[in-house]
Amino acid sequence: DSGRIAFLGLGHMGEPMAVNLIKAGFDVVGFDVVPAAVEAARGAGVPCVDTAVEAATGAEIVLTMFPSGEILLDAYRGVDGPGLLESAPANTMFLDCSTIDVAQAREAAELALAAGHRSADAPVSGGVVGAEAGTLTFMIGAEDADLEHIMPLLEVMGRKLVHCGGHGAGQAAKVCNNMLLGISMIGAAEAFVLGEKLGLSHQALFDVISTASGQCWSVTTNCPVPGPVPTSPANRDYTPGFAGALMAKDLGLALNALEHTGVAAQLGPLAAQIYRKFADEGGAGRDFSGIITDIRGRSQD
Ligand code: NAD
């Protein structure tokens, strides 16, 4: 019998994740700073309270699903009032599932431990569809001893759970994966535009790449041209899927991590720049595979 879960951040991802926990019989109390999000969550069956402090009081697990690390650290410490760390009973598990900076995740863990709590980072991949279906992948950064405490929840919300190492390791794995994803999508899009210019059909090039050495998720699952993979966002005018704004955010986190570690990467920063521009110039709400439209648009007739 697990104790109460305070679920903070009931947005696109958080709300369906909280709903799945409730369906599985967990005792969940929700909170969000945006009243409309609270109303929607209540409508979906999530009992909510009016303040973060109220949610954290009496919680055994504080689960956060926030837009950024700044927001997480502010909520932990409190701004103009008591924060979550102060409000929760001793030895509460602070489980953050947001995608944030590796350095901020480590800082959050240090703050939680210093306040007499436990901590784990468990960012996800799989998007809103995975959150609704309970099929997310969780990348977990936690001490071994804390795993048994969080696994029952993560098993409800996810399908694949990977324990990547200690505090911050989940965010580290996520940032590496998404940097590669951004780079590979740009590569896939450039290959398809080049194929068009050389007179290849999309299907012919797909049939080769998908079974040859260029094979990657950006081609086989999220193919940037319509046709070869009927479920890819290209077939529905690039409705996400994985929105350009989120790819730009994740590549920003990759940039920070590259700088922090001194890695001599060239493609990661370039991908970050390309997706920042894509998001700022109309691509924020489009699937990130829509980058192919930009490449085509800038190419000569
Ligand atoms: P969202 O903006 O829809 O939801 C975030 C929610 O947090 C909002 O409702 C916001 O009001 C709330 N919030 C902000 N500050 C708060 C506070 N102090 N207390 C309580 N609530 C607060 O974002 P989302 O799409 O649900 O994404 C959440 C996280 O998951 C992000 O870190 C994102 O990068 C990551 N993620 C998203 C997806 C996706 O497809 N949407 C996929 C993988 C990972």
Count how many residues are written for the chain.
301
pLDDT score of 152 more than 90: yes
130 close to ligand 1 (CB < 6 Angstrom)? no
Mean pLDDT of 180-196: 98
How large is the ipTM? Answer: 0.99
pLDDT at 2: 66
Using a 6 Å cutoff on CB, does residue 47 contact ligand 1? no
Q: What is the reported pLDDT for 188?
A: 98
Q: Give the whole-angstrom CA distance, residue 79 versus residue 64.
A: 17
Between CA 20 and CA 283, with CA 174 as vertex, the angle to 5 degrees is 85
Contact 210, 220 (CB under 8 A): yes
Tell me how far the alpha carbon of residue 7 lies from the centroid of ligand 1, in angstroms.
Answer: 12
Q: DSSP assignment, residue 48?
A: B
Asked whether 12 lines ligand 1 (CB < 6 A), one says yes
Q: How far apart are CA 254 and CA 121, in angstroms?
A: 17
Active site residue 174: yes
What pLDDT, on the 0 to 100 scale, is given for residue 290? 98
Looking at every residue in the chain, the average pLDDT score rounds to: 97
Percent of the chain having pLDDT more than 70? 99
User: Over the stretch 1-41, which tens digit does the pLDDT of each residue have?
Assistant: 469 999 999 999 999 999 999 999 999 999 999 999 999 99
SS3 content of the chain, % helix, strand, coil (to 5): 55, 15, 35
pLDDT at 169: 98
What are the structural domains of the chain? 5-166 (3.40.50.720), 172-298 (1.10.1040.10)
Q: What is the mean pLDDT of residues 87-103?
A: 97
Whether 195 shows a pLDDT value over 80: the answer reads yes
Report whether 164 contacts 139 (CB < 8 A): yes
Choice among 174, 197, 249, 277 that is catalytic: 174
Q: Model-level pTM?
A: 0.96
Choose among 74, 55, 63: nearest CA to 13.
63
- Does pLDDT of 71 surpass 60? yes
Rg (CA), the chain: 20
List the beta strands (DSSP E) in 174-265.
none
Per-residue DSSP letters for 106-148? HHHHHHHHHTT-EEEE--EESHHHHHHHT-EEEEEE--HHHHH
Sign of CA dihedral 142, 146, 150, 151: positive
Residue pair 178/244 in contact (Cβ under 8 Å)? The answer is no
Instruction: Report whether residue 127 contacts ligand 1, using a CB cutoff of 6 Å.
Output: yes
pLDDT at site 180: 98
Mean pLDDT of 36-48: 98
- Residue 301 pLDDT: 86
Q: Six-digit token pair at 116?
A: 């007499």
Atom of ligand 1 nearest to the CA of 68: 32
Mean pLDDT of 170-189: 98
Give the residue-averaged pLDDT of 196-214.
98
**Structure confidence at residue 96 (pLDDT):** 98
| pLDDT reading at 225 higher than 60 | yes
Coil, strand or helix at 1: coil
